[in-house]
Amino acid sequence: MIPRRCILGTMNLIMFDIDGTLTQTDAADGKCFVKAVADVFGLSGIDDDWSRYPHCTDSGILATIFQEQHGRPPSLPETTEVQEHFVALLAAEARERPFLPIEGSGKMLAELMQISEVAVSLASGAWECSARLKLALAGLDFPRLPAAFADDSHAREEIMQVSLARAAQVHGRTCFDAVIYVGDGVWDARAASRLGFPFFGIACEPGKRERLHAEGARHVFHDYRDADSFLGALRDFF
């Protein structure tokens, strides 16, 4: 376990993605996002290979689709219309197939939040409206956690930097001694690498685990049920 007492003044930030990292919502999120954009704008053949987009975030993907289809970015009213329909589709999907947390994620967040030398934040490529809904429906509603979303930037690295800044403000700090990002996608690993943050992966499929390791993940965990292993791995960076 992480020591409860560290050197005076030490504080480390653990930053989490949401979809596929804290919640089992990857499939539902992708399905509802594509349908929302298709329904609102009458589009078909939307490519759901998110790795091909310059920015794998809700705002970045919508901007790319709009640029390809219309030669311009979406307006604020157009974006709002997509968001509202997207949230309605997610809510309907959850009524059919309830959203679940990644096993052990709620307990892990609660444990980390009790460690005085650790700060926790969220940095998601989802829009805040959809991210908050998915967290709440999966039983992971932690509204006091500093967070940043696709509303803050198209670029995941910038979202992570906003999350860091908000966490620093909440904890009255100018910086952290270490920042670790926990995510499930290759785009998460690449963003962490570009910022110089150690990256921990969450993945249950063997192929996905291998891809995350290939992208430089220091550790890849199936979920958070083995809390001692996860917290022990964090200790290497503290």
Domain range annotation of the chain: 12-24+100-235, 27-96
- Range 65-84 average pLDDT: 94
pLDDT at res. 1: 37
Single-letter amino acid, residue 45: G
Q: What is the pLDDT of residue 8?
A: 37
The CATH code that applies to domain 12-24+100-235 is 3.40.50.1000
pLDDT greater than 60 at residue 213: yes
SS3 23: strand
Statement: residue 29 has pLDDT above 90: yes
The whole-angstrom separation of Cα 74 and Cα 62 is 8
Closest of 79, 30, 70, 73 to residue 51, by C-alpha: 30
Exposed / middle / buried, residue 39 (Cβ in 10 Å: 0-12, 13-18, 19+): middle
pLDDT in tens, 139-162: 998 888 999 999 999 999 999 999
Question: What SS3 class is residue 135?
Answer: helix
How confident is the model at residue 2, as a pLDDT?
A: 39
> By percentage, how much of the chain surpasses pLDDT 70?
96
Residue bearing tokens 């968001």? 83
Percent of the chain's residues with pLDDT above 90: 84
Give 238: exposed, middle or buried? Use CB within 10 Å, 0-12, 13-18, 19+. Answer: middle
What is the mean predicted confidence (pLDDT) over 129-140?
96
> So what's the pLDDT on residue 9?
61
CA distance 170 to 80: 29
- CA end-to-end distance (rounded Å), the chain: 12
Amino acid 31: pLDDT: 95
User: Quick one: pLDDT at residue 45?
Assistant: 86
Kindly tell me if the per-residue pLDDT of 136 is higher than 80.
yes
Angle at 89 between CA 140 and CA 18, to 5 degrees: 30
Q: Which of 5-9, 76-80, 166-170, 177-181 has the lowest mean pLDDT?
A: 5-9
CB 109 within 8 A of CB 103: no
Question: pLDDT tens digit string along 162-199?
Answer: 999 999 999 999 899 999 999 999 999 999 999 999 99
Count of other CB atoms within 10 angstroms of residue 96: 7
pLDDT digits (tens, 9 = 90+) for 87-127: 999 999 999 999 999 999 999 999 999 998 999 999 999 99
Closest CA to 215 of 198, 229, 231: 198
* 5 has a pLDDT exceeding 50: no
Q: What is the pLDDT, as a whole number, of residue 7?
A: 38
Q: What is the DSSP letter of 224?
A: S
Q: How many CB atoms lie within 10 A of CB 143?
A: 8
pLDDT at 3 over 60: no
